[in-house]
Each structure stands twice: as structure tokens, then as C-alpha cells.
Chains A and B, each alone.
Chain A
Amino acid sequence: MTALFSKRRDGLSLSEALPDRSLFVLVAMMGFLAALTLAGASGAQALAARWAAGAAQLVTIQVPDPDQPASPPGGASLPAPGPQAQGNGPAADQGTDQAAPPPTVAAPNAGGLPATLPPEASTGPGAPSRAQAVLAQLAGLPPGTEVHRLSAEEISRLLAPWLGASDRSALPLPAVIRVTLPQGAYLPPTLEQNLAAKVPGVIVEQNALWSERLHSLANSLLTCAGLALLTVGGIAALITGQAAHTGLATRRDIIATLHSLGAPDGYIAGRFARRTASLAFGGGLVGALLACPPLLFLLRMAAPFGSMTPTVDSPDLTTAPAQAIMASFDLVPQGLLGGLAALPVAAALICWLTTQVMVRLWLRRLP
């Protein structure tokens, strides 16, 4: 007796009514696109966050006439550095300072001068140089702050693209101090004011502006990625709607009969929705899997630019492809992995919802 009943319980025969292969293939293609978009968004977000975080923590301080006394006896301050001061000031006579070993100190957060200061930076006993005065101010920064005065070689390397390898001893170069703040720390709001008061002419370059710009860039990229994903989802919905419409058209009489037998709208819509959702899940899964090889390849290439595992020790794709692929999975950010895993579910959900709406709207034509 059981053989009398088939697996087909309602006569809808949706495996024949819905254009299975085309819906499956189209959803797979969109899943592929969505996976790539997701990867792009994830990469952009990670890089932008890293850049923005780095920029936000970095402060550069330029000290013109670094070896001049900070506050000459009598309280008279130095004239602000300007074109008239260049080349004929005392700094010009002290080019040897540029070769001094740079101090790299951790802010002791206990006040006072850093332990190592360039001894030749002082212009005389009891009279700290302007650079020393700045370093002394920086000693009060939060614990973990790294203060580094660039050496002459480092400054030369910075200037090399513009000035070449020529002798720059005659140039009145400022001292450059790089301050790297620990995560979550900020410069005291009064620091710039204090420095200006004690060492006039000091230029403090905070990178907060760059950080904001990078944040804006990251947000723009994420918005673009979001719009791309929405577009892909919208196209998926349209295609599913079309497929459902085709299925309804080919099964019009059967649906009318089922309806007249007392099948609720939810029953008929549910049958269609389950069918399209299962097709979309399969398509989304295939699309996400197809996107994995190019994504892993891109991630391997991008690894040196991020904080991911360096590729130096990674197995080679040509000699040990299996190990290389397994190692590449370690490079996939967790968020992206989650996104890829969610793709088939999202595709199924979109198609399920679209079909439910389409079929229910169509059934509204019947009483």
C-alpha cells in the first residue's frame, strides 16, 4: 500500500515547474560575486582600521634650531624660526649635532628628563637646548609612549628623495621627534601649548586628521561594498521572483485546484519557497566555494601587507599545493570566514522571502 503514495504529495511537482538549473546557476554566480565583494569589504575594513589606528597613535614634532638654548638667561625667547634665521644661526655651526646618536626613550611618566639625552645637544652647563626641553616635556606622556629623536642618518634617508645624497651639513635642519602613543592614549591637550610657550617655533603634527580621513575612506569602501551586496541581493530577489512567476504560470490550474480544495495560501507559498530556498542554498554554497581559490590566492598575496602570517615560511602552491591551501585558510579573517559561511543561508533566505511574497501576491487574485 505504501507504494501507492509517492513522494509527490500535492501535485505541484515544483522540480519540474521551476527552472531549476537556471536558478541554481544564477544564484551560484551571484554567490561568487557576493563572496568576492565580501572579501573586498573585509580586506578594506581591516587595512583601513590598521592604518587609521597607526596614524592616530603617531605624533611628529619638529624642533627648529634644536641646539639653541630653550630659554636664554633673562627669559628672552628665541626668535621664531624663519627664512632670516636659516643658514646664519648658531645651528648652522653645529652640524655635528645631526650625527649624534638619537635617544629613544620610553616616557617614564614620572616627570624629569629622559635618562639618555644627546650630551652634545646642550649648549652650556645648566642651559638645556630646545630639543632637550621638548624631550623633557615629552617625558610626562602616558606610560608606554615611545619617544624617538630621529638621527642624522634617518633624516638623511627621509630627505634623500628630494635632496639626493649631497652634503646637507649646511642646511638648518630641525630636530624631528617621533612620538608613538600606546593604544587608546592621547596627547595631553595642553602639551602643544606648553611646548609653544617653552620652545617657541615647535611644530607638532598630529595625525588625527589622517586617521579621520582613513576612517572616512574605510567607511566609503564599506558603503560601496554594502551597496554591491545589496545589488547582488536585489538581483537574486528579481531572478527568484521571475522563477516563481514562471512556476506559478506553468502550474496555474493545479494551484487553482489545490486552492479550491482548501489549501491555505501559506501551504502553496511554502512549497514554492522551500523549493527556491533549497536551490538558492545549493547555488550560494557552490558560489562561495568557487570564490575560495581566488580569495585564498589574493590573501596569500596580501599577507605581507597586513598583520597576517608572513608568507616566507608558507608552503609553495606549486610544490605543496595541499599544504599551501591549508596554510592559506589561516590567513582568512574570521569575519570573512563567517561571511562566506553565511552566504548560502543568506541566498536561501532572500529566495525564500521573495517567493513567499510573490506567490502570496499571486494567490490574492483568487478569493
Chain B
Amino acid sequence: MIRLDHVSWRRGRKDHAPVLSHLSFNVPQGGFRWLLGPSGAGKSSLLRLLHVETLPSAGRMEILGQAVGEQTKRAALVRLRQRIGMVHQDYRLMPDLSLADNVALPLRLQKRGEDEIQTEVEAILKWVGLGARMGVSAAHLSGGEQQRTAIARAIIHRPGLILADEPTNALEESQAHRLLDMFAQLSAMGTTVIVATHNETLIRRLARPALVLEAGKLVADEGHPPA
């Protein structure tokens, strides 16, 4: 469950103009939302905010049942981040680590056993088609491989919320469709999914409500159209 109530966020000082202004919307647990809008509309900023990489400057925000704000304890924010899977547009892999070590990171941070980690990593990498590349350094992967690795890392720990920022822009169409099907499956199993994209083919393929941003403002919430 995601709940935003007049949330604003500005970068830097208080006199700066807000990047996101008075956003209010709800996404129920297991809901799927497309996040749409032109470049610079604030999609990536909203995803970072939902990933708790930044805190709202104003308003109230609740993610997976946890209120998020300046007053929230750091330990609670850490626990919350561990329940979120994020696919960044620039992948953000660890270049010094192997593909398998990159994917294993969320499980290691949750202090899972090495046997379990090994099994899970092997399974997920085979699923994203990288079973034969597990030991390769992340620095030597192609763009598509890096993107698939980032996706595997985002979902390996079965998070309650998946956020994806243009997750298919380096993927072939078939892989993109496969990924979309997986997101739909996860959503059906109770994971909340928000995907920011410009890919209209994908949007047409999976008919789900969209949140539309323009200049930092929410101009449409198809999940909850105005009465």
C-alpha cells in the first residue's frame, strides 16, 4: 500500500521550486501502475522518493504501512528499503563484483544463509537468461545484460514494492514482454508495482491504470479518477 497526501519534494534549499508538488494518490497492495509523463516531469524523482532515497519536503507519505518523513527513525527506513526492489535507469551495479555477487546483495544485507543465496541467485539468473554469465564481472556486461542483472537484483528478495525506471529500454522486445509478464505475475501475487516508461507498446500490452505527471504535478490518476 502506498499513500501520498499532498507530498512535495524540492532539491536543496527551501526557497527552491519544488520538483514534485502536492502529489496525492493511493496504490493498494498488489496494485500495478504505469508512471507516465514527458521527460523532466518528475517520474524518476517520484520513484526515488518512493524508494526512500530522499524524504518528502512536505506532506504525508506512507509506504508498505510505514510512515516516511524527517521524524522516521533511520532503522525503520533501512528496514523499509530492504522491502523495496528498485530498477534504476542507470542500473547502478557494483562494477567490482561478479554478476552473481551483484544479484546476491539484497539477500546478503538481509543476512540470509549462503546456501539459500546460492540457490536463489542461480534460479533468478537462469530466469533472466544470464545463467551462463554468472561469474562475469558486472563491468564486462552489455547494456541489456546489466539491465537484466538489475532486474534480478530488484526482485530476488521478493519485495513488497517494485519500482522500475524505464526497465525495458535496453531489452529486446521479447525480453521486455517477458519482464512485463513477470511484473504482472508479481502484482497478482500481492507485490505493488510501479513502472515508469515511455514505451507505448508495453502500455498497450498490459492495460493497467496510470499515474501521469507533468511538471511535477499529478495530472491524472487512472486508478482513482476524479468523481
A residues near B (Cβ < 8 Å) are 1-6, 8-11, 13, 16, 253-254, 256-265, 267, 366-367
CA distance A253 to B96 in the complex (A): 13
Q: List 21 A-B contacts (CB under 8 A).
A: A1-B122, A4-B101, A5-B100, A5-B118, A6-B97, A8-B96, A8-B97, A9-B108, A11-B102, A13-B96, A260-B81, A261-B81, A261-B153, A262-B78, A262-B81, A262-B84, A262-B109, A263-B78, A264-B78, A367-B54, A367-B55
CA distance A4 to B125 in the complex (A): 12
CA distance A201 to B195 in the complex (A): 107
Is A261 a contact of B106 with CB atoms below 8 Å?
A: yes
The residues in B between 115 and 146 inclusive whose CB is less than 8 angstroms from any CB of A are 118, 121-122, 134-135
CA distance A268 to B64 in the complex (A): 25
Q: With A5-B98, A10-B108, A13-B96 as known contacts, state yes or no: A260 contacts B79, CB within 8 Å.
A: no
Q: Inside 8 A of A256's CB, which chain B residues have their CB?
A: 53
Min CB distance A334 to B, Å, is: 44
Q: Inside 8 A of A263's CB, which chain B residues have their CB?
A: 78, 109
Q: Inside 8 A of A5's CB, which chain B residues have their CB?
A: 98, 100-101, 104, 118
Q: Inside 8 A of A1's CB, which chain B residues have their CB?
A: 118, 122, 134
The listed residue (B51, B55, B100, B153) touching A4 by CB distance below 8 A is: B100
Q: Is B75 an interface residue (CB 8 A)?
A: yes
Q: Inside 8 A of B86's CB, which chain A residues have their CB?
A: 260
B residues near A (Cβ < 8 Å) are 51-55, 74-75, 77-84, 86, 92, 94-102, 104-106, 108-110, 118, 121-122, 134-135, 153
CA distance A59 to B53 in the complex (A): 78
CA distance A9 to B108 in the complex (A): 8
CA distance A367 to B134 in the complex (A): 32
Is B106 a contact of A262 with CB atoms below 8 Å?
A: yes
Min CB distance A17 to B, Å, is: 10
CA distance A137 to B138 in the complex (A): 94
Min CB distance B118 to A, Å, is: 6
Is B101 a contact of A367 with CB atoms below 8 Å?
A: no
CA distance A32 to B75 in the complex (A): 41
Nearest CB to that of B79 among chain A residues?
A262
Nearest CB to that of A267 among chain B residues?
B109
Is A367 a contact of B53 with CB atoms below 8 Å?
A: yes
Is B98 a contact of A4 with CB atoms below 8 Å?
A: yes
Q: A1-B134, A10-B108, A261-B106 given; name 16 further pairs at CB < 8 Å.
A: A4-B101, A4-B135, A8-B101, A9-B104, A11-B95, A11-B101, A13-B96, A254-B94, A256-B53, A260-B51, A260-B53, A260-B81, A262-B80, A262-B83, A263-B78, A367-B54
9 closest A-B pairs by CB: A11-B94, A262-B82, A262-B81, A4-B100, A13-B96, A4-B134, A4-B135, A257-B92, A11-B97
Q: Inside 8 A of A4's CB, which chain B residues have their CB?
A: 98-101, 121, 134-135
Is B74 a contact of A265 with CB atoms below 8 Å?
A: yes
Q: Inside 8 A of A9's CB, which chain B residues have their CB?
A: 101, 104, 108
Is A261 a contact of B109 with CB atoms below 8 Å?
A: yes
CA distance A64 to B96 in the complex (A): 91
CA distance A115 to B115 in the complex (A): 91
CA distance A260 to B55 in the complex (A): 13
Q: Inside 8 A of B102's CB, which chain A residues have their CB?
A: 11
CA distance A259 to B135 in the complex (A): 24
Nearest CB to that of A257 among chain B residues?
B92
Is B75 a contact of A264 with CB atoms below 8 Å?
A: yes
Q: Inside 8 A of A259's CB, which chain B residues have their CB?
A: 81
CA distance A286 to B36 in the complex (A): 61
Min CB distance B34 to A, Å, is: 22
Q: Inside 8 A of B80's CB, which chain A residues have their CB?
A: 262
Min CB distance B68 to A, Å, is: 9
Scoring A5, A16, A254 by chain B CB atoms within 10 A of each residue's CB, the highest score goes to: A5
